Structure 1
Amino acid sequence: MLPNRALLSAFVVALLSPLAEAQDPLRIQSLQRCGDLLASEKQEWCMQVRGLGAKLPRLRLGDDTLPASAVKRTGDGLRLQLNSNEHRSAPLWLEDGSRASNPVWLSLHRSHVLAAGPDEVAKNMDGLTTYVDLVSLLIEESHDGLDEARRLAKKYDAKVVGAIPPLNVYQLRLPVKNLTERDALVLRIGNETSVDAVVVEESAPERGEEREAARQPARKPEKNSEEWAANRFMDAVNYYQRRIPAGETPIEAEPIRVGVIERNVDFDSPDFADYLGACPDGKPRTCVYARDADEPDNHGSTVAGILAAHWDKGGNTGFLRGLDKASQGFEVIVERNSDAGITANIAASVNLVEDGVRVLNWSWGIHRVGTRNVEGDEIDSLVRSGIAMSGYEELLEEFFLWLREEHPDVLVINSAGNGSSYSGQDEYRLPSSFITEQLLVVGGHQRNKEKEVDIDDPSYAVKRNSSNIDMRVDITAAACARASTREVDATGDVHCGTSYATPLVTGVVAAMLSINPRLQPEQVRMLLRRSAMTIGGDYDFEPMDAEDLTAPILPSERNYKMSDKDVGRSARLDMQKALDLAVQSRDRVR
């Protein structure tokens, strides 16, 4: 009987193996430009896919189905050839029978940069990982950027390999083998009259942000709602659901596109499992486009989850997802371009803005080596060398100048940082220190467990100790949230940091714009500050030790009442009242 049993077992395994293989999830893990990154018309894209079967899946790009002739398979990867004149930027996903992959945003715009491989980096004098032979040149606007970059490349025996054309930025691969040779060549190129700045790239920013943000709060919240109550999260969802379709005076909401500069999202978690395939499918709803992550509690999943996670699955809770029944839909595009650090963040941001994004979520930032916190100690995470910071500052300045000239209605929401330092010192902190109407900076707070007070009492929440502070911070929001999990109804770990306060503000700004898309960045800031509750003591504009949590609320933000109790205090996000003011603004902003 034993041989028969063994034979039967082998038969069952053989029978079930194809079925098991067919049930493997189909996931796009990466999608990046490859080949000639400077080609604008004929573009090549390389993707890594988990769960590919023997048969080539069908590729969907928005409303189009890509022909099989446009796809070449290489192991677990696919290589696409697209003509930008025949398509437009859209979500890309795979279909194989009943299986559908996660949709990933494919931008057909021209900004793409290369990341260095493991053999193309080295440690600099500050002990930081830096690119050896890849740098980016910011060309003076009086020159044709590509022509000048090619001229310089020929002069210095380099090669142009990447570009952010709207900013006149071009990436060069230098003929160098070590940092000594690189620095010498960077100095020579930087002295060219046509070169405004040379951007030297250092290690990717979000890894340090993850370490910083993962620190646990002094007391763990039981659930997201406990922390988010300080910003009237549920009140805002309830208000939007009731006010938009209100019987006698309904509001015709607008669809809004949101860009999130993060690496990926875990579509195997219950928080994101129903975002697979085509979206929207039927009625307008929140959509998420992102590469797939290996773990549910990664930085991107938590940030994107605060905006779009499915409700009541035990992990995160998405604010925009809660508005689905009343809204005309929100598209949340999680995109990072490549792993090329800050340069890739800016390249992705440029493409997304050109693709119609109104709000950008930047849950990242960097400090210069030597930055000290409020206690005088040096910050040891998210630091960059002086040479890198100088290049980044020029790159970011060019980005915001371009925004102001070409896309004045776009707003960037940026985390203040978690270094217990000052967010507005331009010598030491980027990008939060930039002064522009199109950059809103968010600090972090947590619930005060020492007092039982009403929600609008300033002591209802306290500043999170690690949050950066000062006059450049526009508003604070809850810094702690639950991460996504792989199990339905399981409780995720607590993640805290200004990274997670930022998407709360991004979400409410997107909702405000859906109510009144004519609002401009300075008007959005004004409404957020006018609607804000307060946090911290009454400093009468002169806080002790100059430790402002945010810029103090002004009399002009309280109907010019000098005696208003909020004047002089720091601002705490009130999501419900911000939406109410957005509704009222429809009659004032034309």
Structure 2
Amino acid sequence: MLHDAAGASSKRHIIHFRNKAAYSRFLTAFEKANELFPVKSVIQPIKIIHAISCSLKAGSFSLRHPSIRHIEEDIAIRVHSSHARYMQSSVAPRQSDSAIPWGVRQIRSPEAWKETRGSRIRIGVIDTGIDYSHPDLRGRISRGINLLNRALLPADDNGHGTHISGTIAASNPESGIVGVAPYAIIHPVKAFDHNGTAYVSDIVLGIDWCVRNRMHIINMSFGMKNRSKSLQDAVRSANRMGIAVVASSGNEGKVSSIDYPARFSQVISVGATTSHKKIAPFSNRGRSIDLYAPGDKIKSTWLNHKYMELSGTSMATSHVSGVIALMLAIKPGLSPAEIKSMLQKTSNPIAGLKSRSGVKGGEIDAVRVLKHIDS
């Protein structure tokens, strides 16, 4: 039934069982079979959705069994990389400006720091990992997981995850930069390889890890065009556990369509703005977007103690995750739905969005949302 991935005609799939009991029965039987004779197939249990990922030979996709509810291909998914036209080489940590990047300043985080800096809020960043040696992230990183090689630390070999983490929680006002919530804790979940690619099953396992380790927020700066039931089930589980899930909408400049997982209703979907408080030209937009945040020419931490200026809805998403950390540090019991609603109510209008029907929220404002919580 299950076949080794080495075969050219094999593809990775996710098999969903009808319920927890059926899932448990399968795992028990599989373990017993393994003891009796070597099983060539490698399976990866995915407890959060009562499923397994494995390789199926062509034609097995129509597999039928009373215990199996659904089978889908385990497709590749990519981080929302910077819009190439806006990408620049490494930039010095200090130019004429201060330690606070323009995006952090535009959403008024520094004014909010009088009240909170996001202390003790745990953020799972499902991405390419993190640069443990970066001075701006020292003291901000806690236990994570490397889903590509569980024996290794989730070290970043791409740069994207380090950039996201810096915008959320960098804390080096003396010689580097400061993020939106400089006392928040980043838990790096490495699901993406050095090319910024992961499988859906890796993402689901990352969400599972975040749920089991009681994250307050999950940052997902990546996207795909196809709907995945596995990913949706995992997001629903995180939402039910009270975790705020934040995702980037995509960088194609589309007016009526955004990527998954941002398109799921349980997720806070984020579009990008410029320093002129307008929607960035590359950002997906429209009524599917819940909120907007700075995402154009964002300077943040990079590999080898460096800094990089990147643009994309990925960068916008990290600003939103940081503001949610500030909110939860003041009122820990806020539900994901309450967080989304408060951020939308207190957001600032964006040029060109006012007259459009169905617009949910504008650009986030840290000071306004914290005042709303206190009122």
TM-score range, shorter-chain basis?
0.7 to 0.9
Q: Distance in 2 between matches of 1:487 and 1:168?
A: 40
Tell whether the 8 Å contact from 2:162 to 2:303 is kept in structure 1 after alignment. Answer: no
1:62-103, Cα deviation, whole Å (9 max, x unpaired): xxxxxxxxxxxxxxxxxxxxxxxxxxxxxxxxxxxxxxxxxx
Alignment partner of 1:134 is 2:12 = yes
Corresponding residue for residue 435 of structure 1: 265
Corresponding residue for residue 293 of structure 1: 156
Opposite residue 59 of structure 2, the aligned amino acid is A
Deviation of the 1:539 alpha carbon:
4.5
Tell whether the 8 Å contact from 1:418 to 1:467 is kept in structure 2 after alignment. Answer: yes
Opposite residue 202 of structure 1, the aligned amino acid is I
Q: Distance in 2 between matches of 1:132 and 1:483?
A: 40
Change (3 A) 1:487 1:195: closer
Listed as ranges, the gaps of 5+ residues in structure 2 are: 34-38, 145-153
1:2-57, Cα deviation, whole Å (9 max, x unpaired): xxxxxxxxxxxxxxxxxxxxxxxxxxxxxxxxxxxxxxxxxxxxxxxxxxxxxxxx
Task: Describe the SS at the equivalent of 1:264.
Answer: coil
Change (3 A) 1:332 1:341: same
Cα RMSD after superposing both structures: 3.3
Change (3 A) 1:261 1:486: closer
Opposite residue 345 of structure 2, the aligned amino acid is R
Corresponding residue for residue 201 of structure 1: 74
Percent identity, aligned pairs only, is: 19
TM-score by length of 1: 0.52
Change (3 A) 1:217 1:136: closer
Alignment partner of 1:333 is 2:196 = no
Tell whether the 8 Å contact from 1:444 to 1:477 is kept in structure 2 after alignment. Answer: yes
Deviation of the 1:140 alpha carbon:
1.4
Aligned positions of 1:92-491 closer than 5 A: 120=6, 132-141=10-19, 143-148=21-26, 159=41, 161-174=43-56, 182-186=57-61, 188-189=62-63, 191-206=64-79, 209-210=80-81, 212-213=82-83, 215-216=85-86, 225-240=101-116, 255-272=120-137, 274-275=138-139, 286-289=140-143, 291-294=154-157, 298-312=159-173, 315-321=176-182, 324=183, 330-336=184-190, 340-367=198-225, 389=226, 393-405=228-240, 407=241, 409-422=242-255, 424=257, 429-436=259-266, 439-448=267-276, 461-479=277-295, 480-484=297-301
Task: Describe the SS at the equivalent of 2:349.
Answer: strand
Change (3 A) 1:485 1:159: closer
1:168-222, Cα deviation, whole Å (9 max, x unpaired): 1112344xxxxxxx33112x22x4443332232333522xx23x4454179x997
Change (3 A) 1:170 1:538: closer
Corresponding residue for residue 501 of structure 1: 316
Tell whether the 8 Å contact from 1:416 to 1:423 is kept in structure 2 after alignment. Answer: no
Corresponding residue for residue 362 of structure 2: 571
Tell whether the 8 Å contact from 2:216 to 2:244 is kept in structure 1 after alignment. Answer: yes
Q: Distance in 2 between matches of 1:400 and 1:469?
A: 22
Tell whether the 8 Å contact from 1:528 to 1:573 is kept in structure 2 after alignment. Answer: yes
Tell whether the 8 Å contact from 2:207 to 2:238 is kept in structure 1 after alignment. Answer: no
Q: Distance in 2 between matches of 1:227 and 1:320?
A: 13
Q: Distance in 1 between matches of 2:187 and 2:353?
A: 40
Corresponding residue for residue 147 of structure 2: none
Corresponding residue for residue 4 of structure 1: none
Tell whether the 8 Å contact from 2:86 to 2:310 is kept in structure 1 after alignment. Answer: yes
Listed as ranges, the gaps of 5+ residues in structure 1 are: 1-115, 123-130, 175-181, 242-252, 276-285, 325-329, 368-388, 449-460, 543-550, 554-569, 585-590
Deviation of the 1:315 alpha carbon:
4.9
Q: How many aligned residue pairs are there?
A: 345
Q: Distance in 2 between matches of 1:518 and 1:137?
A: 35
Opposite residue 47 of structure 2, the aligned amino acid is P
Deviation of the 1:541 alpha carbon:
3.9
Opposite residue 299 of structure 1, the aligned amino acid is H
Opposite residue 195 of structure 1, the aligned amino acid is I
Tell whether the 8 Å contact from 2:247 to 2:268 is kept in structure 1 after alignment. Answer: yes
Higher relative contact order (CA 8 A, sep 6+): 2
Opposite residue 310 of structure 1, the aligned amino acid is S
Q: Distance in 1 between matches of 2:141 and 2:30?
A: 43
Which structure has the bigger radius of gyration? 1
1:371-420, Cα deviation, whole Å (9 max, x unpaired): xxxxxxxxxxxxxxxxxx35xx2112322343355x1x211011111121
Change (3 A) 1:138 1:468: same
Tell whether the 8 Å contact from 1:227 to 1:478 is kept in structure 2 after alignment. Answer: yes
Q: Distance in 2 between matches of 1:485 and 1:173?
A: 35
1:106-155, Cα deviation, whole Å (9 max, x unpaired): xxxxxxxxxx9xx8597xxxxxxxx934322011127521424677998x
Aligned positions of 1:38-57 closer than 5 A: none
Task: Describe the SS at the equivalent of 1:240.
Answer: coil
Change (3 A) 1:165 1:486: closer
